[in-house]
A and B are shown apart, each in its own frame.
Chain A
Amino acid sequence: MHSSLLTLSDIRKSFGGVRALERVSLDLPRGAVTALIGENGAGKSTLVKILSGVHQPDAGEIRFEGKAVRIANPLASRALGIGVVHQESLAFDNLSVAENLFVNCQPSRRGLVNWGAMRAQATAVLRDLDADFDADVPAGRLSIAQKHVMQIARALAHESRVLIFDEPTASLSQRECAELFRIVRKLRDAGCALLFISHKFEEIFALADRYAVFRDGVSVSAGNVGEVTGDELIRQMVGRPVEQLFPKLETTPGSELLRVERLSRAGEFEDISFTLRSGEILGVYGLVGAGRTELAEVLFGINAADSGSITKNVDIALVPEDRQTQGSILPFSVAANIALPNLAALAPRGWCRAHDESRLARQWIDRLSIKAQGPEQPVQNLSGGNQQKVVIAKWLARRPGVLILDEPTKGIDVGAKAAVHAVTSEFTRDGGGVLMISSDLPEILGMADRVLVMRRGRLRGEFTREQATGENLLRAASDA
């Protein structure tokens, strides 16, 4: 059996009165990838912050190679050899890659930064990782995947032996994921202890040796990945069986709501044609960068097409990809967010009444079971899943005929995912049509009546629900 490099036992942490970690234990063996699984709010991020020295635990013990240690600050974490690859890549966009690798610990000579040595060391680490960028480019020019590689390089430059990956694949394409996994396996074989936080079960089963499940700040279970099934993991995460992650209702497609013909926009997508009927969920699958979001933005009217036509008989609503910057106004209350696209109806003479806005918000809080203290709570204080429900609510309140969902369940927990799917399904039952853009294969397969596959801005295939399999969607999305 593996020997442990890092062991946490009975860690507790509260913020104000809120308990983030109740009683958490975790064991990271050498030469193994441990997957950390849990819903949002289970305490994963708090744990990462404790390991990176940003927060201090209130109680509990951390042992590194058997010795009890205290991780007082980020420098102590780095000195121990703990490196973190953050989900939102924490990069210095204005600085070069080399500078990013050596922030706060630049090689120096007589007190001055030694740029030559810094560049040479950075180049060596990047070469070890087969990185496809060099040390002199500003980090702002890198893709998200390249920034992840840069963060890994940063950890290696500090000779880290414990690497923590905080949902690294959330915004990566399939190919980029494969590249990341190659590096992760290489590090594992070199004897590092790796902690891999992910919501995606395919990844966990493909990559991890061990798993640990957190629920509400408590470690629920841990073991070898070979000995569990996805369903068991979900049950442990949620604490109750999830009847159906994809509660799809039977509908019969009705009249045509939207017809798109030969739609093109330079540099984004080309020659896109399809129709959407009432009662139908049309999935749009493809890798990140295939042009799907750009298509949605044109359909919704944010950008204009260069050529082609859009024929629609109903209103279109768009639930955008990034709920925090595009979907909602974070400091606004739940009521103000839901009211925003509905002000014409709520305030026909231009005067808003808080009472009406609250009433509308309360209806939707009930209907979508949004977990909020009330209509007045700012959206920024809600969990990701509940934020997403608010964004969906604000558009459904307009009673659109077509709803475009762009990555509707990205980064939200299983419970919220099922709820979003249920709302989507009810919307089609009531006669709406849905265009569901998603990179989540199980979601597309579970929810869509038909699937369009896009690659490099073009349609590469259309599949009925019966025809669609993970394999043929992936093939259409990636190869020629």
Chain B
Amino acid sequence: MSRLATLSGNARRDLAFAALTLALFLAVTFAFPGFAAPRNLAGLLDDTAILIMLALGQMLVILVRGIDLSIAANLALCGMLAAVFDRAWPGMGVAPVLALTLVSGTLLGAVNGLLVWKLRLPPIVVTLGTMSIYRGAIYLLSRGAWINENEMSREFLAFPRSEFLGLTLLSWLAIAVAALFMVALRRSRVARDLYAAGGNPEAANYSGIDAGRMQFIAYSVCGAIAGLCGYLWVARFAVAYTDIALGFELSVIAACLIGGVAIAGGVGSAVGVVLGCLFIGIIRSSLPLVGISAFWQMFINGVVILVAVLLSARQRQFKRTILEVRA
């Protein structure tokens, strides 16, 4: 058997999708040679970094048969918290801000996780509710006011934008998170339990894995990432207000689906999700070059989601063996 044939369906899908993403990239580069300039690529990665991190968090939740609609609201609330903190204690540097957003994000995610785990409420209902609650909390926290660049400290603004080796720290963070996910999803025990709990919760229960607890862990990690991204978002765009990242949860979920995460749970890879984000990123940054309105981006994303889902549905229909196997 060739190496390709022994790859699992997942790995084969990732490979095919990588080829497709590369083809898209080459096509755009062919039409606009400037697209492949290092400067432009670094910008592309910087634009996509937050999407990548959020989509990886969202993937964990979808893997265990959940969904996190509150991910963008969590981001916005933690971002506002970071901005308010920085305004009150501007001299304290970035470390306490990072800690604050990680902790608050984890807590907000854990609330989702607890409701899903302990009360056995449907994930879509829970996170639809917390999505509104978290947005509402931003308004209470800020009293509806904006926090602008001139109210933010220099360190606060500089952190995600500082550059190493040609890439922003934001990009490096996304690369680090992606690398961590690639290793951890394949090699860590807890990740294997996550896949098992999402693939067949009942069988997981019989194996001593608490599927509900796995959902809790997934929501908490997803929340932590959302919280961290809240600070990064606010610092990068240098503004915090109630409606930041409004509706962004849908882009995040779209990136997961394009990247091959099964909405039914149990299937998905970090490589696929990163590719899904890059795919969206390439389309997003090339459309202005072609002179097409950004609204087409939504249209194209939609088509890509449907095609991706159609393809993986086809792939998963193992042919039913009707006649008995020959001896």
Contact = CB atoms under 8 A, between A and B. Distances in A.
Contacts of B327: 175
B206 A106 contact: no
Interface string A62-96: 00000000000111001000001010001111111
Interface-centre pick from B6, B196, B200 (highest chain A CB count, 10 A) = B200
Contact of B200 (A91, A115, A136, A175): A91
A84 B196 contact: no
Interface in A185-226: none
B190 to A, nearest CB: 10
Nearest to B266: A94
A86 B206 CA distance: 10
A97 B276 CA distance: 28
A310 interface: no
Interface string B181-222: 001001111001101100110111111110000000000000
A11 B191 CA distance: 37
B207 A104 contact: yes
Given A91-B200, A92-B199, A99-B192, A104 B209 contact: yes
Contacts of B208: 53, 73-75, 78, 104
A363 interface: no
B290 interface: no
B322 A268 contact: yes
Nearest to A52: B206
A90 B196 contact: no
Interface string B293-327: 00000000000000000000000001001111101
B207 A106 contact: no
Interface in B139-193: 183, 186-189, 192-193
Contact of A140 (B192, B206, B318, B321): B318
- Which bucket holds chain B's interface residue count? 20 to 34
Tell me what chain A mostly uses at the interface: helix, strand, loop, or mixed.
loop
A476 interface: no
Contacts of B209: 103-104
Given A94-B195, A95-B195, A140-B318, A108 B200 contact: no
Contacts of B267: 94
A112 B199 contact: no
A65 to B, nearest CB: 22
Interface stretch (A271-279, A283-291, A378-386, A429-437): A283-291
Given A112-B188, A113-B188, A95 B205 contact: no
A415 interface: no
Given A94-B267, A103-B207, A104-B207, A289 B323 contact: yes
A84 B206 contact: yes
A115 B321 CA distance: 30
A456 B324 contact: yes
Nearest to A458: B323
12 contacts: A73-B208, A78-B208, A92-B199, A92-B200, A92-B203, A94-B267, A103-B196, A111-B189, A267-B322, A289-B323, A290-B324, A455-B324
Interface of A: 52-54, 73-75, 78, 84, 86, 90-96, 99, 103-104, 106, 108, 111-113, 115, 136, 138, 140-141, 143, 173, 175, 267-268, 287-291, 294, 455-457
Interface of B: 6, 8-9, 183, 186-189, 192-193, 195-196, 199-200, 202-209, 266-267, 318, 321-325, 327
